[in-house]
Amino acid sequence: MTHTISLTVNGSPGEITLDDPRVTLLDLLRERLGLTGAKKG
């Protein structure tokens, strides 16, 4: 089952399709969008 998420990051709208519903927002930002400044904790 896939999920499509619409979000705006740093003023840029976008849509991302996820294959795994267990992906965290942090993982999405860092791995899919390349925003490595996002930190956990």
What is the block-wise mean pLDDT of the chain (41 residues), using blocks of 10 residues? 92 93 91 90 86
37: which 2 tokens? Answer: 């400044």
* Per-residue pLDDT, 38: 87
CA distance 5 to 24: 12
From first CA to last CA, the distance across the chain in angstroms is: 30
Asked whether residue 19 is domain-assigned, the answer is yes
Asked whether residue 9 is domain-assigned, the answer is yes
Asked whether residue 37 is domain-assigned, the answer is no
Asked whether residue 28 is domain-assigned, the answer is yes
Alpha-carbon distances of 27 from 11, 12, 18, rounded to whole Å: 19, 18, 11
Q: How many domains does the chain have?
A: 1
* Per-residue pLDDT, 8: 96
Asked whether residue 24 is domain-assigned, the answer is yes
Range of the domain at 26: 3-32
Asked whether residue 13 is domain-assigned, the answer is yes
